Structure 1
Amino acid sequence: MADCQRSDAGIGVGGAATGQAAAGPVCPEAKEVKTEPVAHTALQSPSSRSLFWSSRRPSSPNRPTTQRLPPQPMSLEYTIVDTFLPSPGTAFAGNPTAVVRIVSSAVFPPDSVLQAIAIEFNTAATTFVMEHPDSTTGLPVYSIRWFTPQYEIIRFCGHGTMAASHCVFSQTAIGDDVDRIQFVAGNQERYFTHRRGRQFEFEFPAYVVEELSPDETQTLRSVVLRSCPALSAADLLHISVSNGRRDILVEIANDVDLGGLHVNCSVLESVEQTRMTLTNTWKNGSVPEADICSRVFYKTGENPVCGVAHSSLAVYWSPRLGKTSLVAFSASARRGRLEVSLDTARHMVALRGLAGSVMTGTILLNWTCTDQYARSQHKVVLEK
């Protein structure tokens, strides 16, 4: 089933921080599906209206209704977390992710507010977490949502989950004897994260890697060569697709330094796939023990360390290298390290990595918006 992703128009947000969030969002190209305006769930909920919005009279589909925040500004604490760090103690590396914990409410703010905050941070993903009603002392459970600056990620976000795990374990009153937490995503899928010493580990489904027809191979070969002018045809050893044919997986000759490649991501606009992963077994100085190396690109730019892409990488490389546990190196400018394990019997992939906080601050919310405006800007998009 295709990933459903939601997006709302940005609304002004002010933030006070000890530093500035890292830029560089990346996101898959998505196909917009026109729908009738849809009211946000949070706006329809009596409990959420009482916490976040107030109204003089009931809203009507034909009459704009001004919804106002409470007189006192709402504040939300956030942390910028670098995920999949190449080594312990490293800062300003890996994949930067904003994490916002909702601690004073039983509901998330409206989608338009969450989307506006994600636009303000302008990182690859902003993660929102809130304690779930199922949470217990023995098994803490948290609701989790991930937003790019363009839309909401419904199914799964690897670095967003890693960042949220780091914040929950380090910023809440979880006992030292608790080494497992659970996240409930927007589609009600549940994911466990385990604390393994200084690392965090979670698992998600393994993506099937599919072979291409000769014509499809030739088409994608041309796209790869145009996007990477430094590569020759002989450098492209194998091209396949995965994740429901949404991802392009390209094996590059081992003597090619992936970190030195310049990739023109705009060339990817010509294909229906949303993500291109370049990979080989090039040995590097940053993570010399790495079995595989990769860089991941979307139509809008590079993802510094893409956790989800390693589902396909594990499925592709495991039989070729004759091992189910791999050390993976991300050769982007920020560098990253992941430990990847493939469970062929269960068709699952486990990711393990390091994360560290680099920035904290407070988001200040105090403005007026109209319900009809927010609903008119609501979009539903489906990945091709």
Structure 2
Amino acid sequence: MVKRPVKYCVVDAFTDAAFKGNPAAVCLLEKKEDQDEKWMQAVAAEFNMSETCYLTPISSTQSDANDHSVTRFHLRWFTPLVEVKLCGHGTLASAHFLFASSLARTDVIEFVTLSGVLIAKRVPTGSNVDTSKFSDGDPEEHFSIELDFPTIPVLECESADIPSLHETLNGAPVVNISKTAEAGGGEFDLYVELSSGKTVAYLQPQWEEIRKCPGRGVIVTGPAPDGSGFDFFSRFFCPKLGINEDPITGSIHCALVPYWSKKLGKCDLVAYQASPRGGVLELHLDETNQRVLIRGKAVTVMEGSLLA
């Protein structure tokens, strides 16, 4: 167990205003020996957020293949119940903490994770989408963060294998049922396309039935309303991870982006995750390297020290 005080902050990710987007706790550990998994899981349960992140410095800087300086950290993510293999909003929150606190003195951070090396890059603020209807207030910092994540294939799934899904989603009109090849922790997610983004936004699922579904969780998605400025809407239901709905989930867009890119015939997309807190993601599919670039903003809402 870690005995010394541990600095932490709470960051709202994929938003430019406090108390929107997806909150994550970010804890800064001094050395790898501080990574006591039992303690880390207990702290995550105490925070009771969709994700608690643990950063441990590897070295102050290192040069990448292009001879650019990068900052390197170990990064792990825990829900209130389990450690996960991949987390988008937790990575964004961790990068924002390092950039905003000047612990990262470069514009590129390499995170060594259970999903390999993930890159976060500080980029100038810019968006073609009017987000005023979804957030208010001024940005905390004048930069966005771009994450470089792997794609996750969407595979065919027999709807007969999940006969109760129609009732689970309270009769929502289902266009297609698929599943992801893999997800955090090595499990797949069910992938359900609905008839419209509006249906996605107003969906009220049966939580206990969601728990009975195969896989880790259920992704629901649909085309965005005309004139909204978005390409698609989504939501992610994951009661098995200790939270009924993850407000904004970067990692599910590793599957959503290739799916909608093929469906819409373009590689640059803007998505809205239509949870009650809501969040905006600017997205790009790198077809050659099978990578998804996920861009968003974040706001620090709390700072302190863990004393136990």
User: What's the TM-score bracket when you normalise by the shorter of the two chains?
Assistant: 0.7 to 0.9
Count residues in correspondence.
278
The yes-or-no answer on 1:123 pairing with 2:49 is yes
**Structure 2 vs 1, CA of residues 284 and 95 (structure 1 numbering), >3 Å: closer, same or farther?**
farther
Higher mean displacement: 196-205 or 240-249: 240-249
Counterpart position of 2:107 = 179
Asked which structure has the greater RCO (Cα within 8 Å, sep 6+), the reply is 1
Partners of 2:178 and 2:203 lie apart in 1 by: 20
The amino acid across from 1:76 in the alignment is: V
Partners of 1:149 and 1:202 lie apart in 2 by: 24
Deviation for aligned residue 1:254: 2.0
Q: Is the 8 A contact 2:197 2:232 kept in 1?
A: no
Q: Is the 8 A contact 1:230 1:262 kept in 2?
A: no
Deviation for aligned residue 1:219: 3.5
Which ranges of structure 1 fall in alignment gaps of 5 or more residues?
A: 1-42, 44-51, 53-68, 366-384
* Moved beyond 6 Å, runs of 4+: none
Deviation for aligned residue 1:307: 0.8
Compare CA radii of gyration and give the structure with the larger one.
1
Match of 1:242 among 170, 175, 180: 180
**Structure 2 vs 1, CA of residues 183 and 278 (structure 1 numbering), >3 Å: closer, same or farther?**
same
User: Structure 2 matches for 1:270-289, cutoff 5 A?
Assistant: 270-283=212-225, 288-289=228-229
The amino acid across from 1:238 in the alignment is: N
The amino acid across from 1:128 in the alignment is: Y
Q: Is the 8 A contact 1:83 1:95 kept in 2?
A: yes
Partners of 1:328 and 1:255 lie apart in 2 by: 10
TM-score of the pair, normalised by structure 2: 0.84
TM-score of the pair, normalised by structure 1: 0.68
Match of 2:120 among 178, 183, 193: 193
**Structure 2 vs 1, CA of residues 357 and 226 (structure 1 numbering), >3 Å: closer, same or farther?**
same
Q: Is the 8 A contact 2:13 2:24 kept in 1?
A: yes
Match of 1:164 among 64, 87, 94: 94
The yes-or-no answer on 1:224 pairing with 2:165 is yes
Partners of 1:217 and 1:339 lie apart in 2 by: 31
Match of 1:142 among 66, 73, 83: 73
Higher mean displacement: 203-212 or 333-342: 203-212
Helix, strand or coil: the match of 2:119? strand
Deviation for aligned residue 1:101: 1.0
**Structure 2 vs 1, CA of residues 293 and 81 (structure 1 numbering), >3 Å: closer, same or farther?**
same
* Per-residue Cα deviation, 1:10-33 (whole angstroms, up to 9, x for no partner): xxxxxxxxxxxxxxxxxxxxxxxx
Partners of 2:160 and 2:204 lie apart in 1 by: 21
Counterpart position of 1:208 = 153
Q: Is the 8 A contact 2:87 2:251 kept in 1?
A: yes
Partners of 1:142 and 1:119 lie apart in 2 by: 23
Partners of 2:77 and 2:43 lie apart in 1 by: 11
The amino acid across from 1:96 in the alignment is: P
Which ranges of structure 2 fall in alignment gaps of 5 or more residues?
A: 64-68, 125-142
Deviation for aligned residue 1:268: 2.5
Partners of 1:255 and 1:270 lie apart in 2 by: 25
The amino acid across from 1:120 in the alignment is: E
Helix, strand or coil: the match of 1:283? coil
**Structure 2 vs 1, CA of residues 298 and 280 (structure 1 numbering), >3 Å: closer, same or farther?**
same
